[in-house]
Amino acid sequence: MKAAASAKKPIAWVTGLALVAGLALLLRPRNDGRADSTPPSTKSPAISFPARNSERPSTTPREASKRTSLTVDELVAIYEKEGADAALAAAKGLTGPDRDSQVVFILTYLARIDPEWVAKALAESGLSTTHQGFIVSAVMEHWKDGEKALAWASGFTGDLRKSAVGMALRILVRTDPEKALAYVDAMPDSGNRSQALTDLFASWGEHDPKAALAHLDHLSPDERVRTTELIAGAWARKSPREVIAWIGTVQDKATSDRLLQEVALNWSSVALDDAKAWIATLPDSLKAGILESIAERERNTIRCGDESTQPPPDQGWKNKPVAEMTETDLRNWGFQDPTGAKTYLERATGETDLSELATAVAAGMTAKETPAAIFEWAQSLDAKTGGNAALRLAIISWASTKPAEAADAIDQAAPERRLPLATALAETWSRNDPAAAAAWAASYPGNDQKTLVREVIQQWAGSEPREAYAWLATLPAGGSRDEGISYMLIRESSSDPASLVPWIELLSTPELQKEKRAVLDQDLKRAHGE
């Protein structure tokens, strides 16, 4: 949907006053210069709760404990009305096979709002180590206090401890690199120390590469070589021209060539066309190897927004009828025999769900075909044959390079396919260029706009909350702004509920205002220790 100019509607002076007051409170400078989901505190690190039982007693319907499943909307509704304890208790009380996935959902959802509370709740969640890994990732994504995060991560064991410590170091090195380095220096030589160094310097290299390079004396000669490459790669994803200029000061040609290859691989992962234009200027001897490395990466990577590790491929699919193939069989077929799999998909009648096969084929096509070509091919497949999955992969790939073209393509898709594709575009586009994604979402027609507004706000508020909320305030009254405000109330209520009061007045219906005010009143009482 192309951005369209919209006439600004006059706002009554009462609403305008509420808007100004709300922005002034919510967007005022804080300790770190941005809105934060955890309030500043002078006390020693402790776990804070979004809702204590004494303040918001659990009144989950009795029938919930007898149910085998709850929808995500039902779990969120329990949280909004009764608090985090009640929502988690409802998920843990399920008796069916969906119990663990529902607990994972509500903890992941709450991690965006109060990661410290989730960190404490995880210990009593009853989840397996694998499921705990999902929650650790969600918590670390939203936790701003690296020191607390590292103390918590150190309490795990095995591989989970290794990954959790690495993620915590990525947080801590951005605010207190000396403490992060001291932690790693105290670790014995092992695979855990090597991983910790990788995580620390990869994050530091992206945040402050020059400072990271100045601290390489903490490392052994072998560690220094690989760490320099890590820093160069992280720097390239953010400021490729700067790191190329720095590499020009490196005297050793072999080291310089290795670093240039690292820059090319990382830059091409975020801006392929720009990186290839630069690669074309390199000497032929260096250029050939770099282009082959990029091509190999494209052949072996599923670029569909799912970074979960896939099982090793095997040949078992060859001996099974299609109707008996597992998801792994379908993926292996798509990777090992893409031509045959593509032909089968084009002739399939839709009797079997072939989404995994279509996704694998589309992923393989990204190495040679443009997103537009993949999109056109996927449109020929129906939903059962895997067309929707392949279309989504094409849009995500497209959004990384030419999101406006992806938006135009979505307009040409069948009406029933547009919203899932538009949501995928909004999610990816908002990570790369939230202001442009917001302008597109604001111009999207119909009732689906509110879904896109929520997606943009959710992604944008994670990195630039003040800018995100300022944009939200510019939307006209209605369902889309209500959706964005409702998300903001959830995200910010645990840290600064007083700043949210004026936003209640901007909700479009008295019923919605009453509902959200009741929830906010509970947060205000909690904030005042009542």
Question: Measured between alpha carbons, how far is 263 from 245 in angstroms, rounded to an integer?
Answer: 11
Q: What angle do CA 61, 64, 66 make, to 5 degrees?
A: 130
For Cα atoms 22, 107, 435, give the angle at the middle one, nearest 5 degrees: 45
Q: What is the structure's pLDDT at 314? A: 67
Question: What is the CB neighbour count within 10 angstroms for residue 378?
Answer: 27
Instruction: Note the pLDDT of residue 88.
Output: 92
**Which residues, including other chains, have CB under 8 Å from residue 117's CB and lie 6 or more apart?**
47, 48, 49, 50, 84, 110, 494
- pLDDT in the model for residue 7: 36
Residue 348 token pair: 């399939």
What distance in Å separates the CA atoms of residue 275 and residue 237, rounded to the nearest whole number? 10
Query: What gap in Å lies between CA 84 and CA 76, rounded to an integer?
Result: 9
For the chain of 530 residues, list the mean pLDDT of each consecutive stretch of 10: 38 41 45 35 30 34 54 84 90 81 86 90 87 86 88 88 86 86 81 75 78 77 79 84 87 85 85 84 80 68 45 68 85 86 85 84 83 91 85 88 91 91 92 90 90 91 85 89 89 79 89 90 75
CA pair distance 196, 170, nearest whole angstrom = 9
**CA atoms in the 13 A half-sphere facing the CB of 91:** 32
The pLDDT assigned to 298 comes to 63
CA distances from 187 to 26, 183, 211, 369 (A): 41, 7, 22, 46
DSSP, res 291: H
For residue 157, give the nearest of 137, 132, 179 by alpha carbon.
132
Residues 392/424, Cβ–Cβ less than 8 Å? yes
**Pseudo-torsion of CA 363, 364, 369, 371, nearest 10°?**
0
Q: Whole-angstrom Cα distance, residue 114 to residue 85?
A: 12
Spatial separation of the C-alpha atoms in residues 185 and 464, rounded to whole Å = 33
pLDDT of 157:
87
Owner of token pair 């800018």? 467
Q: 355-365 and 327-336 helices cross at what angle (nearest 10)?
A: 30
DSSP letters spanning 170-200: HHHHHH-HHHHHHHHHTSPSSHHHHHHHHHH
Predicted pLDDT of residue 480: 92
The per-residue pLDDT for 297 is 65
Diameter of the chain by CA atoms?
Answer: 72
Measured in whole angstroms, the distance separating CA 144 from the mean position of its chain's CA atoms is 15
What is the model's pLDDT at position 9?
Answer: 38
- Let me know the angle formed at the C-alpha of 9 by 5 and 13, rounded to the nearest 5 degrees: 145
97: three-class secondary structure by DSSP = coil
What does the pLDDT read at residue 310?
44
Phi, psi of 38 (to 5 degrees): -125, 130
Beta-carbon contacts of residue 235 (< 8 Å; ≥ 6 apart): 205, 206, 209, 242, 243, 246, 263
Q: How far apart are CA 220 and CA 340, in angstroms?
A: 50
User: How far apart, in whole angstroms, are the C-alpha atoms of residue 404 and residue 425?
Assistant: 10
217, two tokens: 């004396």
Report d(CA 123, CA 370) in Å as an integer: 46
Cβ–Cβ < 8 Å for 299, 336? no
Length of the chain: 530
